[in-house]
Amino acid sequence: MSSYVTGIGVISAIGKNVKENLEALLAKRTGISCLTLFESTHDVPVGELKLSNEQLQQMLGLPITKTYSRTALLGMVAVKEALTDAGIKTNSGLRIGLISSTSAGGMDLSENFYKEMLAKPNGGRLRNVISHDCGDSTEKIADFVGIRDYVTTISTACSSSANAIMLADRMLKHNLLDVVVAGGIDPLCLFTINGFSSLMILDNELCRPFDETRAGLNLGEGAGFIVLQREDTLKDKKPYCQLAGYANENDSYHQTATSPDGDGPLRAMAGALKKAGLKPEDVDYVNVHGTGTGNNDQSEGTALKRLFGDKIPHFSSTKVYTGHILGAAGGIEAVYSILSITHDVVFSTYNFKNPMTDIMLTPVVDTIHNAGVNVVMSNSFGFGGNVSSLVFSSLKK
């Protein structure tokens, strides 16, 4: 029994809704630019949404006098759009759940608190620290849209929102819920910029996934959510596609790296196909994790070759548009995978030039229209070797 995708919502550096994101992807227009939201000693490009928290609150009709984390605000935008797109009202009598994910939580407010606290005695607003916990943003989003039946939060680094989507499917299959909104959010904050800088994996230029000259990733911010339903709850709603399969693996190779042999990524991709009842040759497009770091691209590329052999399908990394949005990557790229099926298009890694000498794989560099896309695999690989793959299939399969 498959779960069906009936709604999608996204906000990122390339747009504040699905329409704007799709237009930017098709136009090969990146959202990577200089950081303006706050001051940082690290002068690196980021995928920044050019809207302040106050502007997001105004967009959502929220009182300016109340304080929200940027995580909660970004999530509210995407979840609201996904529910509206699905035509789901939270007072419909259906059992509706929200499974969100994030790695930074309310860190942006916590950083403001400590800055004010250090500036003067008894400085800082304690109410800002209340939002620090990752689950706070989920609760705020659920209250905003009126979801009451089930609310939970997942935080497994960069595989977080892919894992949220997997849990959503299981909740539906076990008849615990009728509708689930699942995905993830992460904001830009000093915590992540400083942390990734300490790992020396931030690129000073636009990231170059799978390129021999790759030098690291660009961080980004945003939120991506999908609405999943069982077939018996669809009524007259025509779904975008179905969530055909998925798998999560843990290769336990290193705290911040996956196995150079691609063991974990291989098992995740193969497991997702097995659950979907599909073969490698059935995959038309892979939205790769493709961060642009030395380890990820080498590990993921090796896994692609081990799984697909000489018949590797079209693949690309959309992180050249949005940056790496950590806990939200799986949710946002799930939306992009669904758009790929819906519009029969393969998005491009347009700035790729030089194949990696040890792998010699070339991602799609020019957008492919009428590409015959029926099955898309979306990869999200996180710290600690927590790696996940999702498989979406058109209703024609």
Residues annotated as catalytic are 158, 289, 324
Residue 84's alpha-carbon distances to 8, 78, 181, 265, in angstroms, are: 9, 10, 11, 34
| H helix or E strand, kind and range, residue 229 | strand 222-229
18-26 long-range Cβ contacts below 8 angstroms, 24+ apart: 18/81, 18/85, 18/335, 18/339, 21/335, 21/336, 21/339, 22/339, 22/343, 24/321, 25/318, 25/321, 25/336, 25/339, 25/347, 25/367, 26/345, 26/347, 26/367
Q: How far apart are CA 303 and CA 305, in angstroms?
A: 5
Q: Please, which residues have CB within 8 angstroms of residue 364's CB and are 6 or more apart in sequence?
A: 314, 315, 316, 346, 347, 348, 349
Give the number of other Cβ atoms within 10 Å of residue 362's Cβ: 16
Interhelix angle 18-27/329-343, nearest 10 degrees: 70
Q: Please, which residues have CB within 8 angstroms of residue 103's CB and are 6 or more apart in sequence?
A: 134, 155, 157, 158, 160, 186, 192, 326, 327
